[in-house]
Chain A
Amino acid sequence: MKFSANDVYLDVNEQSVDSFLKYASQVACNAGFAADASELEQSFLAREQEYPTGLEDGFAIPHAKTETVKRPGFIYFRLTTPLDWQTYDDKPVTDVFALMVPPENAGDEHLKMLASLSTALLEDDFKQELRQLTSKEEIANFINQKIGE
């Protein structure tokens, strides 16, 4: 299971959480993660309404769990405009990992990868090192190295 440099999006500029999730859903569909962008977007929005997925230090992990997901996995977005996302420490969000799975048969390998990514976000070192990387390849290699452990 590898996270690809193609699934890293830098300099993303959206003005609100909702417009970002719409954009992210379209990107995910174009990249083959899901079939229907609007269904994917609805799933992201429903999860945010249940409880916002903002974490600490400018990170958020919106997730979609819907039939329209064809390829379980995640996309990393780095934002140029910090978003006013509800977070644990009230800091705005600049880094987003969008997680996507189908409701059934996501595959343990994929689920483990998403679990490793989520728990990596509890580590200050992971967040700080990730932020220092500027190329998509470096970012993908770093993430693979950290969550493959």
Chain B
Amino acid sequence: MNVVGVSACPAGLAHTPMAAKALEKAGKELDWNVRIEQQGMMGPVNPITQAEADAADFVLIASDQKITSMERFEGKPIIRVDINTCIKAPKAVLKKCAAAVKKEN
């Protein structure tokens, strides 16, 4: 699976990088390619390029915040998940999202 996404939390301080790292680590364990951009206080960290967005099977938004540059992901399945769930159970989140996307297609 090829997954891109964005994490963002209210303060943009701690949960944003935590969710990104947790999801990327879970991706490695599943042997998937997972890249998460962090939209926090530092501005975009590890930004997702258009080419990466185009190659993704789905887009995971780990946030209930407003996300910038969503136009990159046009035409892709986009799934929003609570950021705390992504930190707590990143592998389950990835698997569930993938299953949901497969069902749609």
Contact = CB atoms under 8 A, between A and B. Distances in A.
Contacts of A61: 14
B18 A121 contact: yes
Contacts, number: 52
B91 interface: no
A50 B10 CA distance: 8
B51 interface: no
B35 interface: no
Nearest to A55: B87
Interface stretch (A3-11, A76-84, A111-119, A135-143): A111-119
Interface residues of A, number: 23
B21 A101 contact: no
B42 A112 contact: yes
7 contacts: A47-B10, A55-B87, A63-B13, A101-B11, A119-B21, A122-B21, A122-B87
Interface of A: 47, 50-51, 53, 55-56, 61, 63, 65, 88, 99, 101, 106, 108, 111-112, 114-115, 117-119, 121-122
Given A101-B41, A114-B13, 19 more contacts: A47-B10, A56-B88, A63-B14, A65-B11, A88-B87, A88-B88, A99-B13, A99-B14, A101-B11, A106-B41, A111-B13, A112-B42, A115-B13, A115-B14, A115-B42, A118-B13, A122-B18, A122-B21, A122-B22
